[in-house]
Amino acid sequence: MKNFFITTPIYYINDIPHIGHTCTTVAADVVARFHRAKGENVFFLTGTDEHGQKVAETALKEGLEVKVYCDKISPRFEAAWKNLDISFDFFIRTTDERHKKVVGEILQKIYNNNDVYKAKYEGLYCVGCEKFLTETDLVDNKCPLHPPEKTVFKSEENWFFKLTKYIPEIIKLIENNESNYIFPEGKRSEILTKLKSGVKDVSISRENVEWGISTPWDAKQTVYVWIDALINYFSATQFVDGKKDFWPADLHLLGKEILWFHTVIWQAMLLSAKIELPKKTYTHSFYMIDGQKMSKSLGNVISPQQLIDLFGVEGTKYLIVRSFPSKNDSDVGINRFKEKYNADLANNLGNLVSRVAKLAEGQKTIDEEITFDIEFENLINNLDLDEAFGLIFNKWIDTSNLKLNQTTPWKLEKENPERIAVLDECIKNIRKAAFHLQILCPKVAKKIENCFKNEVKPLNESLFPRIK
């Protein structure tokens, strides 16, 4: 059986789960379920990133020991994904001793390979991003992603990783279509431009940040939280039972703010430690909320629970994939979500299924083997999730609604062959749609399948109740 290893970023626990985290996680869930449905052996990893100065500061503010704070917040992410019926196989926490051990081992390998040196670092640092800001990151000398007071001047002695040593090799890898791992194309060209415009070595340790993993050869420094976090993808395969063969990862899914770390620094670290590189990274864009950036200060942050309360678990997942910011930012809002939900799920899909189930009640059905549509499969593999699920509607749902309205089978006698033929065609289409929907809305897909298996039974509930 083929192995397939997919990851989401591990979410920084200084935050609460919002629609940004949700979109990466739902996308990963869809891809994981797709590969499982194809009979592959899937390992789907998600988790929380728990070290660094920002977490320590927040814990202090809340008057909690840092580990106690982490133990309080991390389960909120795990619970959020469980509430959304996300099919992750393991939830990793970077405070797990087994992860910490692997981080030490990788760092030691990089050190032994002569890729580490000590130097002074001075520059502007964003406590929000937990990173030193380069010229291209800065807008008016501040981090554009965080409040201005988060940008501070820092000067300290750190351990540096010889990132520059690996840049020619990374450029070669991504310039070659066979070995390129950066998707979509826009992100590959963005990285290539940045690589060619000059890169500096990066610091991989911190002085005065106690909340972290000690640098193996220097107990006075802790491993920079980003370096520690990236290693989670590999460490999980090393300590979770039976997962060693899953490395290298087939797909790292990420948001665009962490592109550089995942497509350059992570690869250079692995090259230095002589570990195989992940096969593919896919970087999506952001959500805008009603035309504005999502931010706590604007009070427009949408949480996954808010969506579940309104649209149910599977309705939420549908809305997320239909607005998935594959290549560009995607503008969403609660009202537009409501319209989309009512139009696609309550009306087009829900009404079709209940109408056909009622008209064809008692009609015998024949089981045909259904396989994934090749066009759908390509769209899923390219993470064009909006188009993939739009295709299901175009191909099978809208066409069936049209057919019904044109042929008006309800005007014919129940035994009329013309009526039976029209309904048969609709049933086939609905079952194909349900087969494809199993990777997004497994419960609804199952209900539809049950309704049309062997003999048509009436649907005694609304699949997606209309909402006001």
Active-site residue list: 18, 21, 126, 129, 143, 146, 293, 296
- Least separation in angstroms between CB 75 and Zn ion: 26
| Residues 230 and 261: beta-carbon distance below 8 Å | yes
- Residue number, 70 or 129, with CB nearest to Zn ion: 129
User: In the bound complex, what is the minimum distance in angstroms from residue 52's beta carbon to Zn ion?
Assistant: 13
Which residues ranging from 109 to 138 are in contact with Zn ion (CB under 5 A)?
A: 126, 128-129
Q: Cβ–Cβ contacts within 10 Å for residue 228, how many?
A: 25
Where would I find the H helices in 130-260?
Answer: 163-175, 185-196, 225-230, 232-239, 259-260
Shortest distance, position 210 Cβ to Zn ion, whole Å: 22
466 three-state secondary structure: coil
Q: Which region, judged by CB under 5 A, interacts with Zn ion, from 28-36, 140-148, 362-370, 401-409?
A: 140-148
User: Which is nearer to Zn ion, 145 or 277 (by Cβ)?
Assistant: 145
Does residue 376 come out as left (phi exceeding 0), alpha (psi in the -120 to 50 range) or beta? alpha
Task: At 254, give phi and psi (nearest 5°).
Answer: -155, 165
CB nearer to Zn ion: give 137 or 377: 137
Q: Is 145 in the site for Zn ion (CB under 5 A)?
A: yes
Alpha-carbon span 158 to 119, nearest angstrom: 6
Alpha helices in 207-300 (DSSP H): 225-230, 232-239, 259-260, 266-273
Q: Which is nearer to Zn ion, 143 or 307 (CB)?
A: 143
For Zn ion, the binding residue among 80, 110, 143, 379 (CB under 5 A) is 143
CA 3 from chain center: how many Å? 19
Distance from C-alpha of 48 to C-alpha of 303, rounded to nearest angstrom: 17
Nearer to Zn ion, 132 or 234 (CB): 132
Give the total of residues touching Zn ion (CB under 5 A).
6
Of the candidate spans 142-150, 202-210, 306-314, 347-355, the one that interacts with Zn ion by CB under 5 A turns out to be: 142-150
Alpha helix (H) residue ranges in 303-452: 304-322, 334-340, 352-359, 374-381, 385-392, 398-407, 417-437, 442-452
CB of 145 to Zn ion, least distance (A): 4
Give me the least distance between CB of 153 and Zn ion, in Å please: 14
Closer by beta carbon to Zn ion, 33 or else 262: 262
Other beta carbons less than 10 A from residue 373's beta carbon: 17
Identify residues 447-466 at the interface with Zn ion (CB under 5 A): none
CB 332 within 8 A of CB 338: no
Please state the closest distance from residue 112 (CB atom) to Zn ion, in A: 33
Q: Which residue number, 37 or 145, has a Cβ lying nearer to Zn ion?
A: 145
Burial of 420 (0-12, 13-18, 19+ CB in 10 A): middle
Kindly state whether residue 154 participates in binding Zn ion, applying the rule CB under 5 A. Answer: no
Backbone φ and ψ for 81, nearest 5 degrees, come out as -75, -35
Stretch that binds Zn ion, among 146-154, 294-302, 371-379, 447-455 (CB under 5 A): 146-154
Of residues 113, 130, 50, the one with CA closest to residue 268: 113
Site membership for Zn ion, residue 146 (CB under 5 A): yes
- For the bound state, the minimum distance from the C-beta of residue 20 to Zn ion, rounded and expressed in Å, comes to 15
Verify binding: residue 147, Zn ion, rule CB under 5 A: no
What are the contacts of 417-424 at 24+ separation with CB within 8 A? 419/359, 420/363, 423/356, 423/359, 423/360, 423/363, 424/360, 424/363, 424/365
Q: Does residue 332 interact with Zn ion by CB under 5 A?
A: no
Positions that interact with Zn ion (CB under 5 A) = 126, 128-129, 143, 145-146
